[in-house]
């Protein structure tokens, strides 16, 4: 079995590394951050992700996974290195490739010393052309070696959803391999066949830029699907009795559409969709093409924030001095990640109009505090959050919020008005007892 290293201890690096280690590969994960390495060595993940902690503890204990500081050492001690460093957005939405540059240079320096061949696999999301023009070039320059001869190179996108990252690593729908040359692709295919055995998913092999584009196209398509259903949700709201949930249920039965990513709501956030959609627009424009559809997807998502705050304003007449309860802060359930969370923009807009906010999230409060600081109040439970509120907005569909009953709102709020931003409650039960406003539901 190959020895594998992962450069980068974020979601992708760590979740994939523990799975490789658990499958029996000798795996090394490296980071520049000694604090992160210290935690991981103790079996403690630096962020919350279901199933991660138990797999990390197990693989550290069995010594299948080793955490180290420094990229060079990781490369020298292994046969294959996955680059899983962050590619954060610049302020204009373009991709910041600083960490990719640094990493590829250090890999090149390590390969200069290494006798055996090495496969480098870029997993970080990068604009088409980056693996060939930046990663390959840096490694060749630093190592004095030739790609395809002395070392191998692939681009291999990841499709992990936060909150499901371990499951998604173990059960992907497909694997895309962008290969510099046939031997590079063959080697990575072999690694995945060792990893998945009899349940190896379909493997799509192609060149480097096509694989890089697959990642952007995949995310832009899913984001478009959500923006599409949200568009029809907004139409439903203007037709008394119309309900987007039924529309989506019906559409999902058409096998050409399928039921996934058709949940209407406050729109998409997170570390990938916003960043990748914006990046797709920017690199397309640089190529001389204006991707109108992707732009519309993005704009529709932005508008969803405004539509939500308008609902609150309409229900309360004015927001000045009104107490709003925010249920859920993270960008989606089962994660403490606040990156591009819809809650942030919604709260900022409400604050601007003079509202007072109390928020509760089962997991993301400390990350939210770093962003919202003292501007809002933080409750210790959903009920605590509802106390004395004039309006509640369900922003993130955590399981524990699904258990709330109309009575919880009626007994605790000053005025029981609920905006169900994720359609988790039964309109029949709620509308009978209190003011229930929901995304994609035309009020009768």
Q: Which is nearer to ligand UDX, 85 or 111 (CB)?
A: 85
- Catalytic annotation, pick one of 236, 272, 385, 391: 272
Q: Which of 52, 39, 37 is nearest to 335 (CA)?
A: 52
The CA–CA distances, whole Å, from 440 to 137, 241, 259, 311, 437 equal 50, 10, 17, 12, 9
Using the minimum distance from each CB to ligand UDX, give the nearer residue, 217 or 316.
217
For residue 316, the minimal CB distance to ligand UDX (Å) is 25
Considering the complex, what minimum distance in angstroms separates the CB of residue 89 from ligand UDX? Answer: 14
> What is the DSSP secondary-structure string of 171-211?
S-S-EEEEESSHHHHHHHHHHHHHHHGGGPPPEEEEEHHHH
| Alpha-carbon distances, residue 230 vs 129, 130, 307 (angstroms) | 33, 33, 11
Contact set with ligand UDX (CB under 6 A): 158-162, 219, 222, 226, 261-263, 265, 268-270, 272-273, 331-332
Taking only Cα atoms into account, the Rg of the chain, rounded to an integer number of angstroms, comes to: 24
Shortest approach of ligand UDX to residue 57 CB, angstroms? 23
Closest CA relative to residue 266, chosen from 244, 250, 283, 293: 244
When the beta carbons of 226 and 279 are compared against ligand UDX, the nearer one is 226
Give the residue nearest to ligand UDX (CB): 272
Cβ-based nearer residue to ligand UDX, 158 or 237: 158
Q: Any idea what DSSP says for residue 151?
A: B
CB of 272 to ligand UDX, least distance (A): 3
User: Min. distance of Cβ 246 from ligand UDX in angstroms?
Assistant: 15
The distance of closest approach from Cβ of residue 19 to ligand UDX in the complex, given in angstroms and rounded to an integer, is 15
For residue 53, what are the β-bridge partners? Answer: none
Based on CB atoms, which residue is closest to ligand UDX, 15 or 74? 15
Question: Please, what is the minimum distance in Å from the beta carbon of residue 322 to ligand UDX?
Answer: 26
For residue 194, CA distances in Å to 23, 92, 99, 270, 353 come to 9, 41, 29, 32, 57
Cβ proximity to ligand UDX: between 28 and 272 the closer is: 272
Give the relative orientation of helices 292-316 and 273-286 as an angle to the nearest 10 degrees: 140
CA angle, residues 276, 280, 283, in degrees to nearest 5: 130
Is 291 strand, coil or helix? coil
Q: By CB neighbour count within 10 A (0-12 exposed, 13-18 middle, 19+ buried), where does 67 fall?
A: buried
Q: Is 391 a catalytic residue?
A: no
Q: How far apart are CA 149 and CA 146, in angstroms?
A: 6
Choose between 129 and 259: whose C-beta lies nearer to ligand UDX: 259
Q: Which of 237, 228, 376 is nearest to 308 (CA)?
A: 237
The residues carrying an active-site annotation are 272
């Amino acid at each position: 079995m190959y020895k594998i290293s992962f450069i980068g201890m974020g979601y992708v690096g760590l979740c994939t590394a523990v799975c490789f280690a658990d499958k029996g590969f000798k795996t090394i994960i490296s980071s520049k951050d000694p604090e992160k390495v210290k935690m991981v060595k103790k079996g403690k993940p630096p962020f919350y992700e279901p199933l991660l902690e138990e797999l990390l503890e197990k693989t550290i204990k069995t010594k299948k996974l080793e955490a180290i500081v420094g990229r060079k050492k990781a490369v020298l001690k292994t046969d294959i290195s996955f680059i899983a460093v962050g590619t954060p957005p610049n302020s204009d939405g373009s991709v910041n490739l600083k960490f990719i540059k640094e990493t590829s240079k250090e890999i090149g320096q390590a390969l200069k010393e290494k006798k055996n061949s090495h496969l480098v696999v870029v997993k970080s999301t990068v604009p088409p052309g980056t693996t060939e023009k930046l990663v390959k070039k840096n490694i060749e320059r630093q190592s004095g070696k030739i790609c395809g001869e002395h070392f191998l190179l692939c681009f291999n996108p990841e499709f992990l959803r936060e909150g499901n990252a371990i499951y998604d690593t173990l059960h992907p729908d497909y694997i895309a391999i962008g290969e510099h040359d046939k031997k590079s692709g063959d080697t990575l295919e072999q690694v995945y066949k060792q990893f998945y055995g009899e349940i190896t998913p379909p493997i799509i092999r192609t060149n480097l830029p096509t694989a890089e584009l697959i990642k952007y196209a995949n995310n832009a398509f899913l984001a478009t699907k959500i923006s599409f259903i949200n568009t029809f949700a907004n139409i439903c709201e203007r037709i008394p009795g119309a309900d987007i949930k039924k529309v989506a249920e019906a559409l999902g039965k058409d096998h050409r559409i399928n039921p996934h990513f058709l949940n209407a709501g406050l729109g998409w956030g997170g570390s990938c969709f916003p960043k990748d959609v914006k990046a797709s627009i920017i690199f397309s424009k640089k190529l001389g093409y204006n991707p109108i559809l992707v732009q519309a997807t993005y704009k529709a998502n932005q508008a969803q924030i405004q539509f939500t705050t308008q609902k609150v304003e309409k229900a309360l007449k004015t927001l000045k001095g009104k107490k709003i309860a925010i249920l859920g802060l993270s960008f989606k359930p089962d994660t403490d990640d606040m990156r591009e969370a819809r809650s942030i923009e919604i709260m900022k807009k409400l604050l601007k109009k003079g509202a007072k906010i109390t928020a509760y999230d089962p997991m993301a409060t400390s990350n939210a505090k770093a962003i919202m600081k003292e501007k809002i109040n933080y409750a210790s439970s959903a009920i605590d959050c509802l106390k004395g509120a004039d309006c509640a907005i369900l922003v993130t569909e955590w399981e524990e919020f699904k258990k709330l009953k109309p009575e919880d709102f009626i007994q605790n709020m000053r005025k029981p008005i609920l905006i169900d931003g994720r359609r988790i409650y039964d309109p029949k039960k709620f509308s009978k007892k209190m003011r229930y406003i929901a995304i994609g539901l035309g009020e009768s």
